[in-house]
Amino acid sequence: MELRSVVASVESGEQDTVLRVLQIYNREKSQCFTFDDEDFEERKKMAQLLIKFLERELQPSCRVTCLESIRILSRDKHCLDPFTTKEGLKTLSRHAGIDYSEELIREVPDLDVILESLKCLCNVVFSSSRAQELTAEARLVVGLAKRIKLYNEGSLPHEGKFFDLRLLFLRVDIRQQLAQELRGISLMTDTLELTLGVKWMDPYEVATEEGPLPPLPRQETERAMEILKVLFNITFDSSKREVDEEDAALYRHLGALLRHCLMISADGEDRTEEFHSHTVNLLGNLPLKCLDVLLTPKVQPGSLEYMGVNMDAVSILLDFLERRLDRGHKLKESLTPVLNLLTESARVHRQTRKFLKAKVLPPLRDVRNRPEVGNSLRNKLVRLMTHIDTDVKHCAAEFLFVLCKESVSRFVKYTGYGNAAGLLAARGLMAGGREEGEYSEDEDTDTEEYKEAKPNINPVTGRIEEKLPNPMEGMTEEQKEYEAMKLVNMFDKLSREQVIQPMGITPSGNLAPMENAIRDMADDRSSSDSDLGLD
């Protein structure tokens, strides 16, 4: 059906005619997501007519059909102007049942109308910054929050709840208002608890039955993931600030729910992976001191115990990391959240660090291969230390460095100096030493194989190297001196032509141009002599 005819029918305003024409249009365009430029003016006029038509007293079936047409038109980012006015957004929010006023939220009884209106609002808010500004002014989030509080009454079906939560997630600009004024963290944590249907054994431990936990049903999984995304938006800076005891208790309660999310599966491997991914992202936002809830549950029959602590959640995170490594897709987005989470957990919890160290960096036995060669988790992580993406290689190196208790010698032992150089240079540790950190003084345990091979290990490559023939064998002293000077002259030429820049290590352990490093070393030596009273 030609768009011009549809517009003419809508312009007539006759309800039965409009209903019939729009039903045909909706069937034809239900899967349309791209639009021709030549019809732009007609689509824009149709959008203006429909939003005005919607303000009339209409039969529910006509209202739903009209909203379906608006949803189709709202897919066109260039045709949003009629929907991104105060009047247009107020009309859509009123039909969605979230038009906020000081007294009440005006409910629209027809659930199909609510659902279609929410879908329209999601499209418009997602694509238009102007719509985001206007919905903030209209305090749309307050209406959404009020309805979310009523979820335990069970009057709204799954799809209505899902698009409520989706719309709330898309409103990134109101996260501060949601978090503070509307106590959004508490609200969304309660909503997550309701969605998961959990019961509590202790304040920070979810009660579970013996045996494998049943998968979370599809609809509950979809809603839970939207809740996790909303919570991620409103807690994005929580790990960086101090929290009082009241907030800490709230975050620990949320952390315990997230631990439960890690322990359960969804309907299918891909959905479970996605569900766990959102869980990991949110765990990374929690204040570090609140991550202790991952280790809180008592050891039960079938639990993974280490040093008397339940390591089920940490083990699942480690498995999640390895799956992401093996997948090798979008490493920055998929790996850095779980790597950062494990790194910070290991930094603040001794049992977590020792468990991860045992799994990732077990005592060395095979030192004939480079640390980056092989299929062990250590090999895979060391390979990332020279990855082209700076964030990826930094996260991988930082994780292994923390597992080594931030000891340079231990770090080099497991990764090789060549792989470790990037992090050591960034930390000013090229000359060795150890970062300040609260770590126990227990020693690394070497295997007999490692002790036997240690004198022959090349510290740069981290493996036993075959002895190469001496290139100067059979030369006279004069010949050796000639070759040495030839090499010096070659380096000097490359340096003067700025092809290379000779570098040295300063007394602080940082890399610097050679002349600066030599000067700093001389100044440091002079200062030391002065302190000792030497001339």
| pLDDT, one tens digit for every residue, the chain (535 residues) | 788 898 999 888 889 999 999 999 999 999 998 888 888 899 999 999 999 999 898 898 999 999 999 999 999 998 899 999 999 999 999 999 888 654 444 444 689 999 999 999 999 999 999 998 888 888 888 889 999 998 988 778 999 999 999 999 987 667 777 877 788 899 999 999 999 999 998 888 888 776 678 899 999 999 999 999 999 999 987 766 778 888 899 999 999 999 999 999 998 999 999 999 999 999 999 999 899 999 998 888 888 999 999 999 999 999 999 999 998 888 889 999 999 999 999 999 999 999 999 999 998 887 788 889 999 999 999 999 999 999 999 999 999 999 999 988 889 899 988 888 888 888 887 666 666 666 666 656 777 777 767 767 777 777 777 777 888 888 888 898 998 999 989 988 888 888 888 877 777 767 778 777 778 777 776 665 555 455 5
Contact of 402 with 348, CB cutoff 8 Å: no
Tally of CB atoms within 10 A around 196 = 19
Query: Which of 144, 158, 49, 57 is CA-nearest to residue 96?
Result: 144
Q: Residue 245: what are its φ and ψ, rounded to 5°?
A: -65, -35
- H or E element at residue 511: strand 511-513
* Strand segments (E) across 203-347: 205-206, 305-306, 309-310
Confidence at residue 464, expressed as pLDDT on a 0 to 100 scale: 75
User: What is the residue type of 230?
Assistant: V
- Tokens representing 177 are 């208002």
- In whole angstroms, what is the distance from residue 22 CA to residue 247 CA? 51
- In whole angstroms, what is the distance from residue 263 CA to residue 512 CA? 49
Query: Which of 318, 382, 372 is CA-nearest to residue 346?
Result: 318
- In whole angstroms, what is the distance from residue 293 CA to residue 46 CA? 55
User: What is the residue type of 200?
Assistant: W
- Tokens representing 114 are 């609510």
Q: Map 104-136 to HEC letters.
A: CECCCCCHHHHHHHHHHHHHHHHHCHHHHHHHH
Q: Give ∠ CA 127-132-136 in degrees, rounded to 5.
A: 165
Contact of 392 with 335, CB cutoff 8 Å: yes
- Using CA of residue 360, residue 362, residue 364, residue 369, what is the dihedral sign? negative
Q: Provide Rg for the chain, Cα atoms.
A: 32
Which residue do the tokens 């070497």 mark?
446
Q: What is the DSSP letter of 272?
A: H
- In whole angstroms, what is the distance from residue 271 CA to residue 218 CA? 9
Confidence at residue 104, expressed as pLDDT on a 0 to 100 scale: 42
Which residue do the tokens 């936990």 mark?
213
Contact of 80 with 74, CB cutoff 8 Å: yes
Beta bridge partners of 457: 464
- H or E element at residue 503: strand 503-505
- In whole angstroms, what is the distance from residue 64 CA to residue 115 CA? 9
- H or E element at residue 202: strand 200-202
Strand 457-458 and strand 463-464: pairing?
A: antiparallel
Q: What is the DSSP letter of 361?
A: S
Q: Which residues of 406-419 are buried (b: 16+ CB within 10 A; e: fewer)?
A: bbbebbbbbbbbbb
Confidence at residue 106, expressed as pLDDT on a 0 to 100 scale: 45
Tally of CB atoms within 10 A around 267 = 16
Which residue do the tokens 């007519």 mark?
49
Query: Who's near 114: CB < 8 A, 6+ residues apart?
Result: 95, 96, 97, 108, 156, 160
Strand 200-202 and strand 205-206: pairing?
A: antiparallel
- In whole angstroms, what is the distance from residue 107 CA to residue 245 CA? 39
Contact of 22 with 69, CB cutoff 8 Å: yes
Q: Give ∠ CA 505-508-512 in degrees, rounded to 5.
A: 35
Confidence at residue 503, expressed as pLDDT on a 0 to 100 scale: 78
Q: Residue 475: what are its φ and ψ, rounded to 5°?
A: -85, 150
